[in-house]
Structure 1
Amino acid sequence: MIEGLYEAHLPVKNLDDAIEFYTNLGLQVALRDEDTVFLWIEKDKSWLGLWQGEEYKLPYHPSVRHVAFRVSYENLKRSLNWLETKGIEAVPFGNRKSVAPFIRSHQSNASVYFKDPDGNSLELMCTVDTPEELQKVCKKWSITEWEESLKGLKLQDIYK
């Protein structure tokens, strides 16, 4: 059914700064006019619309200023280094103090968070196949804790 993101839209203060930030992440400009740009996340599959202008500066709740980009588990493990090479700092999620990628076993996914120049919440996210006994544990696991919990299982069968 749903295999990725079709589109997401975010308000931005400066379109040129936003284009530079998102193309640095690897997105490609698809369409642009004077106050709007659409960038391909996956060419011909999903895009991000960025809108500049006074009418887009309403008070937004952070949950509607959020985009999650799908990545592989292996790339999520390398995400802090990747973000650092881009000059981007990861940020903690919620009440967490660590910025390191973490796994939500009860949701069968893993994430790392960061922000764009306008403070929009961005996330690199992957799905993890979670053994039934770990699905019942509502916890945010570090990668190390997670992999330790899976000792004896074939990791290539667990991660998507």
Structure 2
Amino acid sequence: MKKKSITLILSLTAICSALFSGCELTNESNYDNSPDYHSSKVVTDNEDEAQDNNSDTSEKSPEEEAALEKERQESLTVYADMISEIQQDFPELKVNYIVTTSDGGKSMSINLDLQESKDATYTIASELTVTKESLLNLNGITDLNIMVKNPQDPEETVGILMFENEHGTFNPVVNTL
């Protein structure tokens, strides 16, 4: 009988200590009051500032900007047939330029006025990717960047639609409408 009561007391003590230990861990894991959380947040903010500083150093020189602008202008001539076909079938679109991307693909920039609804605007962009998919693939276009403009103020961009070519099919990756 004494053994059973000692075993019972030890079992209860073990269970109670486990419960109290678990409660302490729950309180200690509150990240809002933890000094480690705040110090890691500071490190993250410093890392963000370092990345921002690095992006400042990667700005293009005037020579690089001039070369990019020259490539943009030349693309209008080189891809004139494709651009003409797209703009003939989609009069709402205006192709700005086509440039080579860092990974060797080609990015096409297009302006599109906001239509009577956001859905109508997105439908035009989607129709472009479906009906002109073969044409875009044949010309090596890997990215479509469609700037949706305010019809009353053409300088104002109200949204961006971006599509990436994955295995021959253009998939939406950004929609800020």
Q: Could you tell me the TM-score, scaled by structure 2's length?
A: 0.27
Higher Cα Rg, which structure: 2
Task: Give TM-score scaled by structure 1 length.
Answer: 0.29
Higher helix share: 2
- Which one has a larger percent strand, Structure 1 or Structure 2? 1
